[in-house]
Amino acid sequence: MNKFEALGLNDELLKAIEEMGFTQPSEIQEKAIPVLLSEMTDLVALAQTGTGKTAAFGFPMIQNIDADSRTTQGLIIAPTRELCLQISKEMEKYAKHYKSINVVAVYGGANITEQAKKIKRGAQIIVATPGRMKDMIRRRLVDISKIEICVLDEADEMLNMGFYEDITDILSHTPNDKSTWLFSATMPREVARIAKDFMNSPQEITVGSKNIGASTVSHEYYVVGARDRYAALKRLSDAHPDIFSVVFCRTKRDTQAVAEKLVADGYNAAALHGDLSQTQRDLVMKSFRTKQIQTLVATDVAARGIDVDDITHVINYQLPDEIETYTHRSGRTGRAGKSGISMVLITKSEMRKIKAVERIIGKKFEAKQIPNGMEICEVQLFHLVNKIKQTEINPEIESYIPAIQEVLGDIDKDELIQKMVSVEFTKFLNYYKKAKNLNIDAAENKGNSASFGDSTRFFINVGEKDGYDWMSLKDLIKDVADLGRDDVFRADCMGSFSFFNVEAENVEKILEAFDGYEMDGRRISVEITKRKEGGGNRRRNDRGGRRNDRRNSGGGGRRDDRGGFRGRRSNDSGSSGGSGRSNDRDRSFGDRKKSSSYGGGNKSDGGFKPRRKRRSDW
Ligand code: AMP
C-alpha cells in the first residue's frame, strides 16, 4: 500500500497523485487528510504556502463530493485572483479521474456573467475571492446554501487585506452544519476570532515549516544606510547574475519608484501593485513567469498568491509593517523542494526587528555584507567565462568565420581570451572601481562577524544549478578537503559556480584535495581568485581602500552606485554575457515597459523622503 493510500484516499485520487509525481505525503497532508476523511469536523491548520496545503484540503474535499449531483458542495475562499486560479487548476488536476466534477474559479477583474454561466452549468466546487463571491451572492448568481465544506485559505492574508466583513457575510449564506477548514500561515487575533465565532470545536493541526522535499529558505540581513538601499539592491542583483527575485517594498509608491529606477538602469524589472489595472498585472505576471522579468518589485498585497516555483531570492527592500507578513514574503522562495534566500536590507536602527522576525520564523538570520565592487566584478567575470564555456556554437556563425579570422586570426589564444573577457570585465570594473563600501557596522553584528585574517578566496565550478546552497557547499568543501567546522567561510553560491574563503594555512589542503577531483564523472575545478584578503575585519573601509589602491585607478569615478552598469551594458547591444538574458529580450521588454507604465525612468537618487509614522507591531 503506498503512503497516500494509507491515508484513506480512493483510486481516482491515487491515480491523479501518481500522475502528478507525488511520492510522499507532506506533513500537512499526513496530518489533515485522515482526519478530514474520517469525520465531518471543523479544522484550523497552521501551514505556510509551499507545504502542500492545497492537496491537504483538496483531496478530502474532492473525495467528499457527490459527483452525480450538480449542486455546489464545496467552497474555497482565497485572498487573490492568482491564488484562486492556482487552487482551481490544482483541484482540476486532482479531480481529473472523476467524470463530472466541475471546479469553477470566481474572481474580480474578469467577466462576471461568464463566471455565472459556468456556475449555472453545475459547479460542485467553487474557488472564489471574497469580494467577487460577495458580489455574486448579492446578485443571486450563485447558491451556496447547500455547501458541505467551506475552506478559508490563507485566512491571515484575507484578514490582512481587510476581507473580514466579506468573509462573515459569505459565511452567513452557508448552512450551519457545514464543515469549515481554515488554513493560515499565522494565527493573529483576527484569525483566532474567525475560528471562535464561526467554527465548532475545530481540530488543530500545525506543521513546523515547509517540508516538501528539501525545500529550505535561508535568511540573511544586510545593514546599510537608509539612502543606500537602492544601491545595495543593485549590488545584490549584480552579485547574482542568475537572480530571479521578488523585491518587496512597503508602499505602492516605493514599489513603482524602485521598479522605475531598475528599468532605467537597464535591469529586467517591473512593478506589481494595486494601482495597475488587471490587464497590466496579468502582463507583468506573464512576463515574470516566462522569466522575461528577472526582478519583480511588489507590494505585499499584490504579491500574494504568486505561484512561481523557482524564485531564487526574496529581497525585503524594507521590512514589512506587520511582522507576520515576513513569513509570506519569504515563502515566495524555497518552493517545491528548491532552496531559496530571503534577504533583508535594514538600517542600523532596525536591527531589533531582526530579532523579532527570528522569533516568528524560529530561525536565525545570517549577518551578511553587501559585496564590494571587486567582488561583483569577479562574480560577473566568472559568470561570463562559464557562459562562454556552456554556449553552444550557433551554426549561423559559420559563414562569418573567415571574416572574423581575418580580424582576429593573428592573435594568440591567451591574448584572445584576455581580450574577450576584458570586454565585459572592464565595463564592470570601470563602473565599480570607485564604489563605496555600503555596509554599516552594526554593533549587534559583531557576534556574527568573522575575522577574515589572511584568507584566500576560491572559485569553484559548482553552484545552485547543481543543487548547492551556501550551507551545503561549505559541507562539500569541508568533506573533500577534510577541514573543520569553521574553516570554510564566506561561501557565496551562484548559478553555476561559487566562491568561498579559507585561511592561509588551509589553502594548500584545498588545492591538493581538489586536484583532479571528480564528482559524478565531472571534473570539479577550484581556483584561487588571485586576491588575498588581509587586514582583519572586512567590514571596515580599509578593504575597499586597499582594492582601490591596488587598481590604482586614480581620481574621478562615481561616488556611489547611481546610474547603472546594466543600463550601459544593455545599450551596448553587441556585448553578450552578464545577465544571462538575451539582449533582445532585455530590450524588447524594457522598451515596452518604458513606453507604457514606466515613463521616462526616474533618475533620482536612492533615498526616499522620510515616511509618516506607521502603525507597527514590531
Ligand atoms: P501548496 O503548499 O499547496 O501551494 O503546494 C506547493 C507545491 O507543492 C505545489 O506545486 C504542489 O503541486 C506541490 N505538492 C503538493 N503536495 C506534494 C507532495 N506530496 N509531493 C510533492 N509535491 C507536492
Collect all residues with Cβ–Cβ distance below 8 Å to 42 and sequence separation of at least 6: 179, 180, 181, 182, 199, 200, 201, 202, 203
pLDDT at 99 over 80: yes
- The pLDDT of residue 65 is 95
| Ligand 1 neighbour 336 (Cβ under 6 A) | yes
Lowest-pLDDT range of 92-106, 349-363, 533-547? 533-547
- The pLDDT of residue 208 is 65
pLDDT at 571 over 70: no
pLDDT, mean of residues 258-274: 94
- The pLDDT of residue 25 is 92
Q: Write the residue with the smallest CA distance to atom 21 of ligand 1.
A: 22
Q: Residues 145-200: pLDDT tens digits? A: 999 999 999 998 888 777 888 999 999 999 999 999 999 987 877 788 889 989 99
Total-model pTM? 0.52
Query: Length of the chain, please?
Result: 618
pLDDT at 421 over 50: yes
Q: Which fold has domain 456-600?
A: Alpha-Beta Plaits (3.30.70)
| Residue 319 or 321, more confident | 319
| Listed ranges 167-181, 371-385, 409-423; the one with the highest mean pLDDT | 167-181
Q: Residues 459-481: pLDDT tens digits? A: 999 988 888 888 888 889 998 99
CATH of domain 5-206: 3.40.50.300
CATH of domain 217-367: 3.40.50.300
- The pLDDT of residue 601 is 32
| Ligand 1 neighbour 210 (Cβ under 6 A) | no
Indicate which atom in ligand 1 lies nearest the CA of residue 23. Answer: 20
Indicate which atom in ligand 1 lies nearest the CA of residue 54. Answer: 3
pLDDT at 315 over 50: yes
Task: Tell me the domain boundaries of the chain.
Answer: 5-206, 217-367, 373-432, 456-600
Give ∠ CA 566-571-573 in degrees, rounded to 5.
Answer: 110
The order of strands in the sheet holding 269-272 is 269-272, 295-298, 245-248, 313-316, 339-346, 216-223, 366-368
- The pLDDT of residue 532 is 53
pLDDT at 388 over 70: yes
pLDDT at 539 over 50: no
Lowest-pLDDT range of 280-284, 298-302, 306-310, 496-500? 306-310
pLDDT, mean of residues 352-375: 87
pLDDT at 556 over 80: no
- The pLDDT of residue 558 is 34
Grid coordinates in use for 196?
Answer: 471562535
| Ligand 1 neighbour 570 (Cβ under 6 A) | no
pLDDT at 617 over 50: no
Q: How far apart are CA 77 and CA 137, in angstroms?
A: 14
Collect all residues with Cβ–Cβ distance below 8 Å to 357 and sequence separation of at least 6: 219, 319, 323, 326, 344, 365
- 322: helix, coil or strand? coil
Pocket test for ligand 1, best of 54, 83, 304 (most atoms within 8 A of CB): 54
456-600 matches 5-206 in CATH topology: no
| Ligand 1 neighbour 214 (Cβ under 6 A) | no
pLDDT, mean of residues 596-613: 30
> Nearest Cα to 184, choosing from 334, 48, 322, 28?
48
Q: What is the mean pLDDT of the chain?
A: 80
pLDDT at 411 over 80: yes
